[in-house]
């Protein structure tokens, strides 16, 4: 009797169990991905907020016991931290602005116009990344000193723009290709100049992709450490500052520094997340 009921429930529940196992798979996948991102951030935060005792406590509980903002604030009060944080924001801001202002028009041209040497141009854009910065460091330093850009945030921003620009151009090309040409032509026919059509029709539809490109440029600048270290002495960006300072710092300071590196990117991406998803669905089909 018991076997009978068992087989009966088995057959009855098979489609249901298939669906539920799919759901289980989905949620465990989501959980794994979240953990992949969140657990390290959590651990870093724990180290940053736990103070000296929190870092060396053993056995580790993984629970937020004895945390306070005090160690972190103490770290913030350390000389140079806030300034380098602002420097980093400035350099990233310059990078985002310049790579969008220069990269998006280039991407638009690549997407919409056929011109001689288009493929070579595209290759050339990527080739700028073929020179290792280490080789360029010395000549760059020399010319930056001559130009008065050495040890300035603008100088760092310019170099980061050089790093981010090729990707900005190529990624925005793809984005503009995704906006059907017919939409633009319809705008022309119904009374727009080329510039008006771009701002009324193409730009709104390309916005999510452009914002994603901006995030990308921001992250490139924020994480870049080599050029920033070489080209600055006093006006360091956060990464460059932390690199030189943290190796001599107590453990919980390092965690605080790490947390400070992570948070702005997370906050920035969170702030623009709405634009990262295509709101209207670009396809005209």
Partner 1 sequence: MANIVIDRIRKSFGAFQALKEISLTINDGEFVSLLGPSGCGKTTLLRIIAGLETSTSGDVRIGDRSIIGLAPKDRGLAMVFQNYAVFPHMTVYENVAFGLRMQKADDARVKAQVEKAAGLLHIEPYLDRYPNKLSGGQRQRVAVARALAVEPKVLLMDEPLSNLDALLRLEMRTELKTVLQSAGTTTIYVTHDQTEAMGLSDRIAVMHNGVVEQVGHPVEIYNHPATRFVGGFIGNPPMNFIKVPVSNGQVVAGAEQLAVPEDVGNEIVLGLRGEAVELAPLPQGIEMKVRVAEPMGSHLLLTGSIHDQPVRVILPASETVKSGDTIGLKLDRKRITWLSPESGKSFPAVSA
SS3 content of the chain, % helix, strand, coil (to 5): 80, 0, 20
Min separation Cβ 205 and partner 1, Å: 6
- Which residue is associated with the tokens 């623009």? 272
- Residue 270 beta carbon to partner 1: minimum distance, rounded to whole angstroms: 24
Q: How many whole angstroms separate alpha carbon 262 and alpha carbon 246?
A: 15
Give whichever of 107 and 208 is closer to partner 1, judged by the CB atom. 208
The nearest distance, CB 97 to partner 1, in angstroms, is 24
Which of 14, 181 has the CB closer to partner 1? 181
Task: Return the number of the residue (66 or 204) whose C-beta is nearest partner 1.
Answer: 204
Best CA proximity match to 255, nearest among 42, 23, 80: 42
Minimal distance, residue 192 CB to partner 1, in Å: 6
Q: From CA 234, how far away is CA 240, in angstroms rounded?
A: 10
Q: Which residues bind partner 1 (CB under 8 A)?
A: 180, 182-183, 185-193, 196, 201, 204-205, 279-285
Least separation in angstroms between residue 276's CB and partner 1 is: 16
Residue 255 · residue 207 · CB < 8 Å:
no
* Cα-only R_g, the chain: 25
Task: List, in order, residues 6 or more apart from 98 with CB less than 8 Å away.
Answer: 157, 158, 161, 165
Cβ 271 to partner 1 shortest distance, Å: 21
- CB nearer partner 1, residue 119 or residue 182: 182
The DSSP output letter for 198 is I
| Residue number with CB closer to partner 1 (105 or 180) | 180
Least distance in angstroms from the C-beta of 106 to partner 1: 24
CB nearer to partner 1: give 5 or 283: 283
Inter-residue contact 215 to 269 (CB < 8 Å): yes
Q: How far from 84 is each of 90, 226, 261, CA to CA, in Å?
A: 10, 15, 11
- Closer residue to partner 1 in complex, CB, 212/231: 212
Q: For residue 277, give the DSSP letter.
A: S
Residue recorded with tokens 């913030």: 76
C-alpha distances (whole Å) from 112 to each of 109, 140, 171, 173 are 5, 35, 14, 9
Nearer CB in complex with partner 1: 182/248: 182
Q: How far is the CB of 284 from partner 1 (least distance, A)?
A: 5
């Amino acid at each position: 009797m018991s076997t009978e009921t068992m087989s009966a429930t088995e057959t009855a529940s098979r489609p249901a169990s298939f669906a539920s196992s799919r759901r289980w798979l989905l949620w465990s996948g989501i959980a794994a991905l979240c953990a992949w991102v969140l657990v390290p951030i959590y651990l870093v935060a724990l180290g940053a907020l736990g103070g000296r005792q929190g870092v060396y406590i053993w056995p580790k509980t993984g629970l937020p016991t004895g945390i306070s903002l005090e160690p972190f604030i103490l770290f913030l009060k350390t000389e140079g931290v806030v300034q380098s944080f602002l420097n980093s924001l400035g350099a990233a801001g310059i990078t985002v602005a310049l790579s969008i202002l220069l990269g998006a028009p280039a991407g638009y041209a690549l997407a919409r116009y056929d011109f001689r040497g288009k493929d070579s141009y595209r290759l050339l854009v990527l080739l700028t990344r073929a020179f290792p910065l280490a080789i360029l460091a010395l000549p760059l330093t020399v010319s930056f000193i001559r130009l008065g850009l050495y040890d300035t945030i603008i100088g760092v921003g310019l170099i980061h723009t050089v790093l981010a620009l090729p990707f900005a151009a190529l990624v925005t090309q793809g984005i503009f290709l995704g906006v059907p040409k017919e939409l633009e032509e319809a705008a022309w026919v119904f009374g727009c100049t080329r510039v008006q059509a771009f701002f009324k029709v193409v730009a709104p539809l390309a916005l999510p992709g452009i914002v994603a490109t901006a995030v990308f440029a921001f992250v490139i600048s924020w994480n870049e450490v080599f050029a920033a270290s070489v080209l600055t002495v006093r006006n360091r960006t956060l990464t460059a500052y932390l690199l030189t300072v943290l190796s001599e710092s107590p453990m919980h300071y390092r965690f605080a520094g790490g947390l400070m590196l992570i948070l702005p990117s997370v906050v920035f991406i969170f702030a623009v997340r709405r634009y990262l998803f295509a709101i209207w669905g670009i396809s005209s089909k």
